[in-house]
Amino acid sequence: MTTKRKPTWRRLLLTLFSAGLLWQSQGLAATEFNYQEATVDQLQAAMTSGELSAEAIVKHYYAEIVKHNERGADLRAVTQLLPLVDAVALARKLDRERAAGQSRGPLHGIPVLLKDNIDSADGLANTAGSLLLQDHYPAQDAFIVERLRAAGALIIGKANLSEWANFRSTGSSSGWSSYGGQTKNPFDTTRSTCGSSAGSAAAVSGNLIPLAVGTETDGSLVCPAAITGIVTIKPTLGLLSRSGIIPIAHSQDTAGPMARTVRDAVYMLDAMLGEDAADSASYTVSESFVSYLRSDGLQGKRIGVMRDLMGYHTGVDAVFEGQLQVLANAGAVLIDDLSFVNGRNWGEDEFTVLLHEFKFGLADYFAQHPQAPYQDLAGLRADNDRYADSLMPFFGQELFVMAEARTAEQQADYEAALARAKQAAGPDGIDATLAEYDLDLLVAPTTAPAWKIDLVNGDNYSGSASSPAAVAGYPHISVPMGFVEHLPVGMSFFASAGDEGVLIEAAFAYEQLTQARRAPSLMPRNH
């Protein structure tokens, strides 16, 4: 690596500028279609009727990115785009298929961004947000990327993230990476996006893209979704393949869809399904989750209200209290004032697991990418120090140092911590609480409203409902539930392993009743 950064943003601007030139040169008239908050179904209907084409849709979203990624709201949500000529060629191929009566499904011709820790073999680097990996070009798509392409999705670029999925420093600012800069919240660009799937969430929320893929180890899907006012589904561990994703910890890592509606998130989840022989945890399901999109999905559900995942923000608690009546009015039976029957005692063990698995999992990932510029954590840590002015201008690499200190001799200690954490969060945590009160699912506020971005002190993080499902490897859905002042907040729905259908029914029904999502104004705030 050199200390001089490649002109990523210049390349991005040139690509977008060429989009405008190509649009003009082809004489495309401006469409009357209203893209603001456009759903997958609306885009599909417009393509079916001939009002839009996949090519026109791609060009629209390229134009939106140039308006608000570095200029306008300056979201810094997108780090890389395919050259326009390549994106247009892909779109035209899909348009020809549609014209021939061949549709691949709901995602046919729909643009998608990938979080920049997911492999794609299309000339886009997989950087994990670090300048150290700016020349890491995978030779093969991640399994979920193969599935998205097969479903007709148009993967056009990469989304910014918290560098190394927020596992480099104890004092990090969520959404900042040395490769992409600081991602900003579209509802207030002085405030954080939370989590590591920052760019994916901000791009979807800001209407720069219809859909994006994020990843989570603990909170990196649900926290950004809640704080930017969108929907995400963190699936059961193994439902989506982990192959081709730069890891933190294989026992908790998963990809997940990020969208503005539950339906669109389900479409995307369905598209990524499939058993991957290269992933030992991977499994398949025999049905489409679309069948669970039921407007009466709350009727008869026994729902536990998790009070021990509240109390960190009075404004969020007040919004949540008001939404409990919505659940009850829709026919749900609420069992209130609950805590985990065996407490929450997995935190220390979870941290041990993350440190240990990060070191050895990263080496495993690089072993599958022999042309990558690094092969282990030790090399990355050394060059972070060597190029600290570029790579660590605001905070350090304390987590890298702690993870690098893990040794093979600590394998037994790690395995014991993993077993304890899984047991505490899963069978003794979520499962025991569901069983004790004969519940279908649990609900809680997802997290606090967005805090001010602070590159000196790091994140002002007060609490979240993410950890139980994350540590257990169980499914978790976050849906917008309202606002605290001008900032969106979310409601979390989580349950036992494989209960995606139950959660989708409840989350979709709740969303249909509340319609709490609204588009951000994309105007920076100065207070």
Q: What is the pLDDT of residues 243-269, one digit of tens each?
A: 999 999 999 999 999 999 999 999 999
**pTM value > 0.75:** yes
Predicted confidence band of residue 17 (pLDDT cuts 50, 70, 90): very low
Q: 439 and 489 in contact (C-beta within 8 Å)?
A: no
Average pLDDT across the chain, whole number: 94
CA distances from 307 to 36, 98, 153, 310 (A): 36, 50, 40, 5
The 8-class DSSP code of residue 464 comes to B
Predicted confidence band of residue 525 (pLDDT cuts 50, 70, 90): confident
Question: Cα–Cα distance between 509 and 329 in angstroms, integer?
Answer: 11
Kindly report which listed range (17-21, 33-37, 195-199, 452-456) carries the lowest average pLDDT score.
17-21
Please report, rounded to a whole number, the percentage of residues in the chain having pLDDT higher than 70.
Answer: 94
In a domain, 86, yes or no: yes
Q: Are strands 154-159 and 231-234 parallel, antiparallel or unpaired?
A: unpaired
In a domain, 520, yes or no: no
Predicted confidence band of residue 18 (pLDDT cuts 50, 70, 90): very low
Helices (H), 175-220: 198-205
Question: Cα–Cα distance between 398 and 142 in angstroms, integer?
Answer: 29
pLDDT at residue 524 tops 80: no
Active site residues: 115, 196, 220
- The angle formed by the CA atoms of residues 55, 522 and 226, to the nearest 5 degrees, is 90
Predicted confidence band of residue 14 (pLDDT cuts 50, 70, 90): very low
The CATH number of whichever domain residue 113 belongs to comes to 3.90.1300.10
Which positions ≥6 away from 444 have C-beta within 8 Å?
305, 306, 309, 310, 320, 465, 491, 492
Residue 364 buriedness (CB in 10 A; 0-12 / 13-18 / 19+): exposed
In a domain, 527, yes or no: no
CA distances from 373 to 86, 332, 369, 392 (A): 26, 53, 9, 19
State pLDDT tens for residues 368-405: 999 999 999 999 999 999 999 999 999 999 999 999 99
Question: Cα–Cα distance between 10 and 476 in angstroms, integer?
Answer: 38
State pLDDT tens for residues 208-218: 999 999 999 99
pLDDT value of residue 527: 53
State pLDDT tens for residues 465-523: 999 999 999 999 999 999 999 999 999 999 999 999 999 999 999 999 999 999 999 87
In a domain, 524, yes or no: no
In a domain, 491, yes or no: yes
Segments forming the whole domain that contains residue 143: 8-514
In a domain, 36, yes or no: yes
CA distances from 52 to 431, 489, 499 (A): 47, 33, 37
pLDDT value of residue 526: 63
Question: Cα–Cα distance between 202 and 517 in angstroms, integer?
Answer: 14
Length of the chain equals 527
Number of domains in the chain: 1
Question: Cα–Cα distance between 69 and 59 in angstroms, integer?
Answer: 15
State pLDDT tens for residues 342-360: 999 999 999 999 999 999 9
- Tell me the backbone φ, ψ of residue 98, rounded to 5 degrees: -60, -45
In a domain, 522, yes or no: no
In a domain, 307, yes or no: yes
Question: Cα–Cα distance between 1 and 11 in angstroms, integer?
Answer: 19
Predicted confidence band of residue 27 (pLDDT cuts 50, 70, 90): very low
pLDDT at residue 24 tops 50: no
pLDDT at residue 85 tops 80: yes
pLDDT value of residue 523: 72
